[in-house]
Structure 1
Amino acid sequence: MANRLANALIWIRIGLVVLVLATTTLVLLPIQLVAIRFELPVRRRLPRWWHRVARRAIGVRVHLHGLPAKGRPLLLASNHVSWLDITVLGSVADVAYIAKSEVRNWPIFGLFARLQRSVFIERSDKRGTGRQISDVAQRLKAGEIVVLFAEGTTSDGNAVLDFKSSLFGAASATLPFAEEGVVLVQPVAIAYTRVHGMAMGRYHRTLAAWPGDVEMIPSLLGVLREGAIDVDVSFGAPVRFTEESRRKTVAREAETAVRRMMAARLRGR
């Protein structure tokens, strides 16, 4: 009897979260479509409002360590643990994403990724890489904060994978438009640290993590069942990308900073 009641309460919670997200989407969607059509400034702020509602409804609490740099152009180079990362970062700042093409088809979050005018990368489309990088450069040129999940995939949340240097080419493509000949590449570390107020261990961090072999819907339902997840988001010192910079060098420097910040947060520092 107790188990049935517990399961019923879980499904009631999931239903309420879905209702909140659906209602918020129905309210903001037409406004965002008009804002995009007429290029109104509010088109950059509306997704943040949606992500804030979504984050709170799901039960995710964000602990900020630092803030996005004020200088522009600004590319955020972050590790990638879960689909939750999009809502976490999207609730903190007005950002656009560089995302893999599969994100287009994600439930709910894929819709808002499109409405944030994310740049979707076709990994198999080698010929289109230059065009995709040019799209990112145009966003950076316009003063938007662009997020690059630099590992190219999701991890188990316990360690940072090697950063892929290829899309750091967007920083290079933006240099001709940068007033001072500098593009800022800011390392960002996302670390899921607690669930229901208790520290996550190495084996419990998969509650929030979304490794590549897990389907989207089971992961989404798993997070909605748990709720009460704490995540630490750390912003490091920006790396200056100039004409003399090399993509691989900047990628390694950003990767090292993210590893250091993530390790500190996982140790509770």
Structure 2
Amino acid sequence: MSVWLPSAPCTPGACVERTGAATAVPRAVLRLLAVSSVLLAGIALLPVGRLLPAGAVRWWCRAVVRASGVRVRMSGAATPPGGVLLVANHISWLDIPLLAAVRPARMLAKSEIRQWPAAGWLTARSGALFIERDRLRALPDTVARIAEALRGGSAVAVFPEGSTWCGRAQGHFRHAVFQAALDAGVPVQPVRLRYRLVDGGSSTAAAFIGDDSLLASVWRVVSVRGLMAEVEVVDPVTPGSHPDRRSLARAAQSRSCHGRTGEHTAD
């Protein structure tokens, strides 16, 4: 197996708990229709998407999550202007709109996402950078394209674990993508993502892991009552503070795991 094809030990059968009260089927269906409607609205606006203010894009991303019945709580300071590498732990398909709600960014996505219904087409049209994870030789070119986007002032969003985890455990941040931030001389902005029940502790209901299908994961999310997504934007790692990609990756993961925030904002 390629070193760029990390895998998590998490599986739906072993890790996903159906905690909390399940929503009645009619309500779950309504949520599913609401998510579809918000996605279709985003597709309709794609031709003028680059003209929309960042605030409108962030609002739409949060609307995707809210339409699925998930409350959103965001904390921490705003991301720095200009080019920035956004990095976060990876649990769910919900992570993608949640990270874009922090700051609209070009997403680094696995090439398989192109095949996802609706969401794959939307991701491709949004300016995402795709990586073929089974072709290690393509990695340097991908890093170079990320660095070019960062130099141009874009934010690029990455899940450096390379695979989704259930949320109880977390994988190691892969080093390669951090070379792009070093080459471009831009900050790295870690983001911590967690899912929990409003009236309880952490929840794995949102996890999209193992042999889960996208439809099964979406249905599980819209069927759970009282699910909340917590997004913690922690202090950025400044350019020049780490000499190589390994130490930079370790610093970013440490902040993503433990959290070090500035001012607090909540939804």
- Distance apart, 1:199 and its partner CA: 1.5
Give the one of 170, 188, 193 matched to 1:190: 193
| Matching residue's letter, 2:48 | A
- Mapped contact 1:35–1:41 kept (Cα < 8 A): yes
- 1:160-197 C-alpha deviation (Å, 9 max, x unpaired): 211100111221332xxxxxxx3101111101122xx2
- Please give the alpha-carbon distance, in whole angstroms, between the structure 2 residues aligned to 1:165 and 1:21: 34
Match of 1:104 in 2: 114
- Mapped contact 2:66–2:72 kept (Cα < 8 A): no
Match of 1:20 in 2: 34
- Distance apart, 1:130 and its partner CA: 2.2
Q: State yes or no: 1:67 paired with 2:68.
A: no
- Please give the alpha-carbon distance, in whole angstroms, between the structure 1 residues aligned to 2:239 and 2:137: 25
1:136–1:65 Cα change, 3 Å: same
Match of 2:126 in 1: 116
TM-score by length of 2: 0.79
**Structure 1 or 2: more helix by fraction:** 1
| Matching residue's letter, 1:222 | R
Using the aligned pairs only, state the percent identity: 31
- Please give the alpha-carbon distance, in whole angstroms, between the structure 2 residues aligned to 1:100 and 1:124: 10
Match of 2:220 in 1: 222
Match of 2:18 in 1: none
Give the one of 13, 30, 35 matched to 2:48: 35
Q: State yes or no: 1:53 paired with 2:53.
A: no
- Distance apart, 1:49 and its partner CA: 4.1
Match of 1:199 in 2: 200
- Distance apart, 1:45 and its partner CA: 6.2
Structure 1 runs not aligned, ≥5 long: 1-5, 175-181, 263-269
1:22–1:102 Cα change, 3 Å: same
1:60–1:99 Cα change, 3 Å: same
Structure 2 runs not aligned, ≥5 long: 1-20, 261-267
SS in 2 for 1:183: coil
Aligned length: 240
- Mapped contact 1:75–1:185 kept (Cα < 8 A): yes
- Mapped contact 1:17–1:58 kept (Cα < 8 A): yes
- Mapped contact 1:81–1:154 kept (Cα < 8 A): yes
- Mapped contact 1:207–1:223 kept (Cα < 8 A): yes
- 1:115-162 C-alpha deviation (Å, 9 max, x unpaired): 221111111122222221222223222322211111111111013211
- Mapped contact 2:146–2:156 kept (Cα < 8 A): yes
- Mapped contact 2:237–2:252 kept (Cα < 8 A): yes
1:213–1:261 Cα change, 3 Å: farther
- Please give the alpha-carbon distance, in whole angstroms, between the structure 2 residues aligned to 1:25 and 1:77: 24
| Matching residue's letter, 2:124 | R
SS in 2 for 1:198: coil
Match of 2:252 in 1: 254
- Mapped contact 1:66–1:236 kept (Cα < 8 A): yes
Q: State yes or no: 1:132 paired with 2:135.
A: no
- Please give the alpha-carbon distance, in whole angstroms, between the structure 2 residues aligned to 1:93 and 1:238: 14
- Please give the alpha-carbon distance, in whole angstroms, between the structure 2 residues aligned to 1:95 and 1:234: 17
- Please give the alpha-carbon distance, in whole angstroms, between the structure 1 residues aligned to 2:177 and 2:25: 41
Q: Could you say which structure has the greater relative contact order, defined with CA pairs below 8 angstroms and 6 or more residues apart?
A: 2
| Matching residue's letter, 2:33 | L
TM-score by length of 1: 0.79
